[in-house]
Structure 1
Amino acid sequence: MLGYFARRLAVMLLMIFLVSTMIFFLFRTMPGDPTAFVVDPSIPAEARQQLLERYGLHDSLWVQYQVFMKDLVKLDFGDSFFYNRPAMEIIGEKLAATLILMLTAMVFAYVIGIFGGAWMAWKRGTPLESVGITISLIFRSAPTFWVGLMVILLFSVRLGWFPAQGMRTAGTGGGTFSEVFLNTDFLKHLVLPALVAGLYFVATPLLIMRNSMLEVMSEDYIEMARAKGIKERIILYRHAARNALLPVVTAGALFIGSAIGGQVLIEVVFSWPGLGREIVTAVTRHDYPLAQGCFIIISAMVMFMNLVADMLYAVLDPRISYK
């Protein structure tokens, strides 16, 4: 088990190195001047040269790459060209907001998806199954920005139950984590974007769980449990659902990375100051340190969650072992 984990960890570190190298050269070969967004074109050439030297952009590409890799080991992506602050500092702020939003949405989606998928498989062929699949596919296929606007129209404009935009009301909260995130004002702002993201995500765990349950229900041990007279509810959730969770765990690991960086539209519609929206802005501004840091952090999280999923296999299914 430990040997397998060490090998997978070594492969993960190698992949992070390769991804970081690709990202570095990709941004350096993009057309455009990285100083155009922070330097007035009318300033003297000497001032622009000083700015290039400050950010290390005057060096050769090979020297810049060496410095980039040395700093990467320390998780130092340099200073953002636009914010004039350490890029890692900005990523931490944006990542916290995105993680809370997307993890809340995923918990909502996976709780409904796992229990709903198991129940639909148990009730296969009934109207309940058809209605559940249809509703989940509608929310999966509907544009998230349109669903977000409809939710804002209903719950914010018409009913006035929740705020329509932002992460907190202007003038509330403070600088610490607890002051920003652990208060009722933040929770009210969290409800609508988390609901829209959760409805978009729910089809994946629900359909995977349903299909996996259909396979498990044909196994001999399910028939044996029924023959023993065990209650249907216990067979459903204690025996069948537990063994059907493996594909859902795999999907969940991949889901986290895509959820963190792939829900830009939700963050834009609800003006949520998250990492997805910041990536788009950083690329537009040619803000190399910030954009590189965002992509590398997301890539590392996806790889790490794949590793976690593999380790969880042995916990969920004792028949699986790593040698």
Structure 2
Amino acid sequence: MMRSRGYLIRRFLQALLALFIIATLLFFLFRLGLPDPTTALVSEGLSPEQRAEVRAQFGLDQPLWQQYLIFLQNAVTGDFGTSFHYRAPVADIVWERLGNTMVLMLTAIIAAYGIGMPLGAWLSWRRGSNADSLGVFLGLMFRSAPMFWTGMIAILVFGVWLEWLPTSGMRTLPYEASGFWDKILTLDFLHHLILPASIVALFYLGSPLLIMRNTMLEVYGEDFIEMARAKGLTERRVLYKHAARNALLPVVTQLAVTIGLAAGGQVVVEVVFSWPGLGREILNAVRTSDFPLAQACFLIMACFVIFLNLAVDILYSALDPRVRLK
């Protein structure tokens, strides 16, 4: 018990250290690698004094080390400052865009893994058959196909030719929503969600399908599988109750990474479908040298990836009793 607690504390401290390093790199990379944001903040007709006043308003006149300390202090408290472009609190912008992104991405990921894992297990059972070859081919094809290409094809077929689904946005304009839940709990929103969520789901489908299939093939050679068969259990019971559980570890690891990366959205999908998510906002922030907004977006992505991987380490022992925290 004490060893497990010490391991968890050590892993948590490592996660905090990783976040600190990432935050530091983000701060200096954006300030040293992007153009001066003053050009986006002020118009050409302002005098040098007025330009200096605008820089002072956003804290850009302070030494770099002071800006860095202020950034770290604000990041700990969840205050990411004011957006240069929107002239509004970064936190409000980020949480709104993150909510839009997570609805799209989680819908797609749940569909991809909900279909991919059992299908991968079934393909391993039918190894060498035509169904297995077709499943592997489709999984590789959708994983390899660029999402902007499949997205534009889907828009052309289902949006333009058949006119079954809308091709852009989250809701039909004009609309007024009193809050986040009021915005998404409508049939109109679900109608807009189908096309982009399907494209993302097809892209992610290949990972759980192929990982589950290949891992299951390795598990079939273990002694406990032969023991289960010797007990007279049906092949389906051996497949899903014994083999599948022990094949879940790499799939769960991939799922955690996928969810973490999904927090930043798929920039290509959000741009193609004009989805107002975090991925498209990152692109706009880098374009306009909006340091506070870009830093907050990337830092939230890092938080998701790091702490979801920490959660996977803890869940390993629950999924496989042979794995212990040491």
1:188 pairs with 2:184: no
Shift of 1:31: 4.5
Cα separation, 1, equivalents of 2:313 and 2:50:
53
- Letter of the 1:64 partner, please give it: Q
Match runs of 1:13-162 below 5 Å? 13-162=16-165
Instruction: Please tell me whether the aligned partners of residues 171 and 188 of structure 2 are also in contact (alpha carbons under 8 angstroms).
Output: yes
1:295 pairs with 2:298: yes
Q: Deviations over 1:62-111 (max 9, x none)?
A: 11111111111101110000001111110101111111111111111111
Cα separation, 2, equivalents of 1:260 and 1:198:
15
**Cross-structure match for 2:263:** 260
Instruction: Please tell me whether the aligned partners of residues 168 and 273 of structure 2 are also in contact (alpha carbons under 8 angstroms).
Output: yes
**Cross-structure match for 1:166:** 169
Match runs of 1:304-319 below 5 Å? 304-319=307-322
Cα separation, 2, equivalents of 1:249 and 1:137:
20
**Cross-structure match for 1:198:** 201
1:8 pairs with 2:11: yes
Instruction: Please tell me whether the aligned partners of residues 71 and 80 of structure 2 are also in contact (alpha carbons under 8 angstroms).
Output: yes
Cα separation, 1, equivalents of 2:253 and 2:146:
25
Instruction: Please tell me whether the aligned partners of residues 52 and 58 of structure 1 are also in contact (alpha carbons under 8 angstroms).
Output: yes
Shift of 1:260: 3.0
SS of structure 2 residue aligned to 1:261: coil
Gaps of 5+ in 1: none
Cα separation, 1, equivalents of 2:317 and 2:64:
45
Cα separation, 2, equivalents of 1:197 and 1:31:
30
Cα separation, 2, equivalents of 1:158 and 1:92:
36
SS of structure 1 residue aligned to 2:177: coil
TM-score by length of 1: 0.97
1:177 pairs with 2:180: yes
Q: Deviations over 1:123-160 (max 9, x none)?
A: 10100100001011111111111101111122222222
Aligned length: 323
Cα separation, 2, equivalents of 1:204 and 1:155:
26
216, 223, 226: which one aligns with 1:223 = 226
TM-score by length of 2: 0.96
Instruction: Please tell me whether the aligned partners of residues 117 and 208 of structure 2 are also in contact (alpha carbons under 8 angstroms).
Output: yes
SS of structure 1 residue aligned to 2:82: coil
Shift of 1:179: 0.8
SS of structure 1 residue aligned to 2:38: coil
Q: Deviations over 1:21-55 (max 9, x none)?
A: 11111111124220212311111222211111111
* Runs of 4+ residues deviating >3 angstroms: none
Cα separation, 2, equivalents of 1:116 and 1:172:
40
Cα separation, 1, equivalents of 2:264 and 2:7:
29
Query: In terms of mean alpha carbon deviation, does 170-179 or 146-155 score higher?
Result: 170-179
SS of structure 1 residue aligned to 2:85: coil
**Cross-structure match for 1:250:** 253
**Cross-structure match for 1:279:** 282
- Letter of the 1:130 partner, please give it: S
Gaps of 5+ in 2: none
Instruction: Please tell me whether the aligned partners of residues 173 and 179 of structure 1 are also in contact (alpha carbons under 8 angstroms).
Output: no
Sequence identity (%): 51
Q: Deviations over 1:252-300 (max 9, x none)?
A: 1111222333611111110001111111110110000000001111011
Does the C-alpha gap of structure 1 residues 99 and 211 become closer, same or farther in structure 2, counting only changes over 3 Å? same
SS of structure 1 residue aligned to 2:137: helix
